[in-house]
Amino acid sequence: MTQAQEPQAKLTLDDLERFLDLPAEDDGLLPFCDAAAVLAGFDPLELRAVGDDTKMPEDLLAQLRPLCEVTADPEASSRWSLLLYERRKALMRLGTRERMIEALAANPAREQSALQRGFERLLQPGPYALESLSRDELASLHTVLEWLAGILDGLPAPGAIDKALHRHDLLAPMRRLTAAGFVGRDEELARLEQFVAGPPPGAPLFVHGPGGVGKSTLLAQFILDQVETQDLLIAYLDVDRPTIRPELPQTFLLDALGQLQSQLEVPKLYFESTAKELEYELRRYEGQRSFESVNVAGAGAEVFGDRLTEWAKGRTVLIVVDTFEEVQFFGPDVTESFLSFAFELQKRAPNARVLLSGRTLPNEYIARVAGQLLHQPRESPDDPLPLDRIPEAKRPITLDVLDDESARRLLANSIAASGMAALPERDLDDIVRVVSRNPMCLKLAARLLRDEGVDALAKDRAALLTKLRAEKIQALLYGRILLHLHADDVRKVAYPGLVVRRIDAAVVEQVLAEPCGLEFKDGLTPASIVSDLAQEAALVEVDPIDGSLRHRPDVRRAMLEDLTDHVEASVVETIDKNAVKHYAKQDTDDVIARAEEIYHRLRLRQAWRTISPRWTDQAGSRLKGALDELAAEQRLWLAERLGVTLDARARQSADQSAWEAQVERSANRYLKGQAPLDALKVLQERSARLPRSALFGIESDVYRFLSEPDRALAVARRGVESATADGAIDMALELLLRMVVIDEGRGSLAAAEATLKEARAVAVHSSSRLLRFRVAVTALRLHRQLHPKAREERAVLRRDARAMLDNEMLRRLRERPVLLREAAAELAKDEPRLAAAAIEILGIEVASDSQAESFGRAIAHAAAEKKLPQGQTLDDALQAVKESNFDPRAVRQVATEVLTGRDTRKLGSELSKIEAGHVVLRGFRDYFRAGVADSLSIDPSKRRSR
């Protein structure tokens, strides 16, 4: 027998223990291992073995140590815990719940950690009330299941524990909001219950009210009530989350998918498939060519709504969008676009209930539920709308101050929570009457009572109540709290320290010390001042990113505008200048420092040539909350860089360049939200245009959207003439190509060819390879349609286009999804890399029947040539597609439910390996052509629009 033929020896446990330098198992050690196996952790010096007659080995600790891991307990000596392998061996020896419970009795003084409680809980017969456990207890069950898997039966499934964990995380913020008790709001709760339990509504419901009135608390209480009493599915979407972008509604749906997955009994694959479609929809949008991208706009709401109806199986799904003012922050165009999405979602998913909540009721919402109210005469534009005229099913919920009884109860609860003795009813009534029935004001009043002392109310009732009375009650209450800060230096930092948005020791020392009159002596340091200020939770909060202190937003809103009434302007200016100097010398990569530097430069109204070089988009993300704190000109500058659209009144004061930048963004957003009339209204605020104005192209798109191609062509032609006269070759070329597409879309191919000839002449002088490539691709597409038999001429055009398709061009096409699809429609047969890139970036798009059928035939070819991911499910689905003669509905099922994101990436990889000219590439070329044809020929008048 040769060496290669010798049988391999089996590795025994003894061999493994010798290899790991572990002692072989000693029978005398087993009772101690059995005792340790039922303990999450133990003190090795106090471990008692299972069995009263067990003799302790002389070298117990030496034998036990290699079988354990050591964890340090800061409050005691080190504790040991059996390694998982040893624990499972011991638990298998014990074998039953009864014997494990007996083993526990050996160490009655065991620690009661969450892990230990979880283990002992599973030793009791089920079922297990997972919903009643804390998060730590739920998390510990995962570890305990790993100990007991395959040893005991009747254990909860890991999926059930995950579901309970997700539920706990979802409801935890709501429980925090209502922890201090909930009072009143019976009428509002009844309206919400009617909205959820009643027939499918025709529109989302809007809850609105000023800051501090308790909107989030109301929603939290309602959700908790419904979860306890109804089989309700919840998706709570806070617009403040970094994963959500208000201008991209698909990001809301992706967030909702993540929350609903743990609540629905649906295979994970279905959620992944839907997420894949939403992500691809985001990729397909191209801002520079929004019109050709818009054929997929709104598809997210349709796809999500249809799937949600199927998955919920009759259960109601509550989708809450909170902090809606963050949507409105970006401007009326984003608000309109988002509401279009929300109404479409409510329409597509009759079992869903879309609930919106924000400080201000948008006119765009009123226009949808009762547009006539906006046109009815009112004595003053500031007078409230008569919302009571809206039918109750669609009437927004206006959250106002509490009723008298509820206000009294909330004040009493807040006083009790502050550790004070209860006040008589008369005193409670007087305070409520003075500070108003606003919940936040009532809580602040309780804080002030604590600082002043309840005795002060009895001694000088009139004086104290006068302190509570003011026009701006919230600002006054904060001011009174400031006055009662225990340290004088802390008070100086808090006010006028409001000028700075963040406070740390360095800011106190280098920015605030001199203008605030601070002296560091007798042990007082910048760090000690910051430490004292951090205790004032009513005024400041800790920034989780860098640990600095930030004034609470409601403090700044209430008090910053009044700052100059109490602090000399020179002091404020000195603080701003000190801040600029302090932050400007920080590391250039420090995003926080850069943001604060820009903020204070804007407050000082420095020249744009000074501020602009300091700008970075990363710093800008931290300046969003500063917009309302700046003067008009500085606000406009910042809004432009934040992507915020200001209202028409704010735009009036802008110069032509700033106005056009604002209008360009606004009109584009309206177009994306399929509201061309709103886009046109914004464009018509001024008739003048800069020579290189982007508004020529946008206005042309608007008229095209409104099915007025002649006006669209006329506007584009004016833009060509303006750009040419100013030497803007690339802009002129872009507009000429837009004109080609307009004529092509309405079937005027000869006119399109004539304009293309002009574009090709201009392209010779263009510095943009991307535009020249687009001209080449457009020429190929038109030639194919106009001269189908002129193959030799087309071969020359194809060769010229392929010559431009190098690696750099492919990289740039990945950022231009519309052009990528157009290029694949003409060149994919001969360029496998291009076909692969189009699939990887665009995904599978089957928005029309022609696209669906073409894709079905393409994947049938790919499957026949073994170029498609293999799998019985996919094979069966493709067979059904073939038997249906490529029925679009059958193809859509494959594209949206069978093919996963992994499959799509795999398909792209396979296409890149196929030789040029292959039948499979021809099939995918035809599929891309169907998509381009649909995009160009779709009737704009049939798009959803207002």
Does residue 774 carry a pLDDT above 70? yes
Looking at the DSSP bridge assignments, the partners of residue 115 are none
The arithmetic mean of pLDDT across residues 134-151, rounded, is 84
Q: What is the pLDDT of residue 690?
A: 93
Considering only 557-571, 590-604, 658-672, which range has the smallest mean pLDDT? 557-571
What are the start-end ranges of the E strands in 271-385? 316-322, 352-358
Highest mean pLDDT among 395-409, 430-444, 773-787, 861-875: 773-787
DSSP characters over 518-554: ----TT--HHHHHHHHTT-TTTEEE-TTT--EEE-HH
Which secondary structure element, helix H or strand E, spans residue 207, and what is its range?
strand 205-208
Rounded mean pLDDT, 345-350: 87
The per-residue pLDDT for range 838-891, each reduced to its tens digit, is: 998 888 888 788 888 888 888 888 888 777 766 667 777 788 888 888 888 888
CA 225 to chain CA centroid, Å, is 26
Q: What is the average pLDDT across 352-374?
A: 83
* Long-range CB contacts for residues 562-567, cutoff 8 Å, separation at least 24: 562/472, 562/475, 563/495, 563/496, 563/498, 563/499, 566/495, 566/496, 567/495, 567/496
Q: What is the mean pLDDT of residues 147-169?
A: 82
Q: What is the pLDDT of residue 12?
A: 46
Q: Which residue has the higher pLDDT, 123 or 540?
A: 123
The per-residue DSSP string of 663-698 comes to HHHHHHHHHHTT-HHHHHHHHTT-----TT-THHHH
Q: Which has more pLDDT, 256 or 569?
A: 256
How many CA atoms within 13 Å lie on the side-chain side of 198?
A: 13
b/e burial code for range 278-317 (CB count within 10 A of at least 16 → b): bebbbebbbeebbbbbbbbbbbbbebbbebbbebbeeebb
pLDDT at 484 over 50: no
Report pLDDT for 20. 44
CB 682 within 8 A of CB 663: yes
pLDDT mean over 357-371: 84
Q: What are phi and psi of 395, to 5 degrees?
A: -70, 130
Q: Which residue has the higher pLDDT, 914 or 133?
A: 914
Q: Where are the alpha helices (DSSP H) in 764-871?
A: 769-786, 791-803, 807-813, 817-827, 832-842, 849-864
Does the pLDDT of residue 491 top 60, yes or no? yes
Quick check: 840 and 905 in contact, CB under 8 A?
yes
Which of 612, 602, 657, 607 minimizes the C-alpha distance to 632? 602
Residue 583 to residue 303: CA distance in whole angstroms: 48
Q: Is the dihedral of CA 512, 514, 517, 523 positive or negative?
A: positive
Residue 332: cis peptide before it, omega within 30 degrees of 0: no
What is residue 258's DSSP assignment?
H
Confidence of residue 467 (pLDDT cuts 50, 70, 90): low
State which amino acid sits at residue 926: D
Q: Is 623 in a helix, a strand, or coil? A: coil
Task: Give the pair of three-digit tokens for residue 334.
Answer: 């984003």
CB of 227 within 8 A of CB of 171?
Answer: yes
User: What is the helix (H) or strand (E) element at residue 234, kind and residue range?
Assistant: strand 232-238
- Averaged confidence pLDDT in the chain: 81
User: Above 50 in pLDDT, residue 68?
Assistant: yes
Asked if the model's pLDDT at residue 17 lies above 70, the reply is no
Residue 817 near residue 290, CB atoms below 8 Å = no
Contact of 442 with 416, CB cutoff 8 Å = no
Using an 8 Å Cβ cutoff, are 597 and 511 in contact? no
At 306 the pLDDT is 83
pLDDT of 561 reads 61
Only one residue has tokens 């890399």, namely: 833
> How many CB atoms lie under 10 A from the CB of residue 190?
10
Statement: residue 822 has pLDDT above 80: yes
CB 362 within 8 A of CB 385: no
Q: Which residue has the higher pLDDT, 733 or 22?
A: 733
pLDDT above 80: residue 5: no
Binned at pLDDT 50, 70 and 90, residue 43 comes out as confident
Non-local (6+) Cβ contacts of 476 within 8 A are 467, 468, 469, 470
Q: Bridge-partner residues for 80, per DSSP?
A: 42, 70
Question: With 50 as the cut, is the pLDDT of residue 693 above it?
Answer: yes
Of the ranges 503-512, 538-547, 634-643, 814-823, which is most confident?
814-823
State the residue for tokens 């606004």.
Answer: 666
Do the beta carbons of residue 105 and residue 51 sit within 8 Å? Answer: no
| Other CB atoms within 10 Å distance of the CB of residue 4 | 5
Cis previous bond, 57, omega within 30: no
Q: How far apart are CA 111 and CA 648, in angstroms?
A: 67
Mean pLDDT confidence for 290-311: 70
Is the alpha carbon torsion for 468, 474, 476, 479 positive or negative?
positive
b (16+ CB within 10 A) / e for 889-926: ebbbbbbbebbbeebbbbbbebbbebeeebebbbbbbb
Distance CA 364, CA 347 (A): 17
DSSP-based three-state secondary structure for 582: helix
Higher pLDDT, 451 or 840: 840
What pLDDT, on a 0 to 100 scale, did the predictor assign at position 782? Answer: 95
Can you give the pLDDT at residue 22?
44
Q: How confident is the model at residue 76, as a pLDDT? A: 46
Tokens 């019109």: give the residue.
Answer: 291
pLDDT at 710 over 60: yes
- Decide if pLDDT at 737 tops 90: yes
pLDDT at residue number 16: 40
Confidence of residue 21 (pLDDT cuts 50, 70, 90): very low
The identity of residue 756, as a single letter, is: L
What is the 3-state secondary structure of 485-516? CCCHHHHHHHCCHHHCCCECHHHHHHHHHHHH
Pairing of strands 68-71, 79-82: antiparallel
What pLDDT, in 10s, does the model give residues 87-111? 999 999 988 989 999 899 889 888 8
Helix (H, G, I), strand (E, B) or coil at 242: coil
The whole model's pTM is what? Answer: 0.72
pLDDT of residue 757: 96
Q: What is the pLDDT of residues 631-659, one digit of tens each?
A: 778 888 888 888 888 777 777 777 888 88
Instruction: State the pLDDT at residue 688.
Output: 92
Q: Pull the structure tokens for residue 539.
A: 């005024």
Q: Which two tokens stand for residue 355?
A: 């609930």
Q: Would the pLDDT of 296 be above 60?
A: no
- Interatomic CA distance for residues 912 and 728, integer angstroms: 38
Give the span between the Cα atoms of 232 and 223, in whole angstroms. 9
Distances (CA, A) of 938 to 604, 697, 704, 933: 52, 19, 11, 8
Amino acid 566: pLDDT: 67
Q: pLDDT value at position 943? A: 45
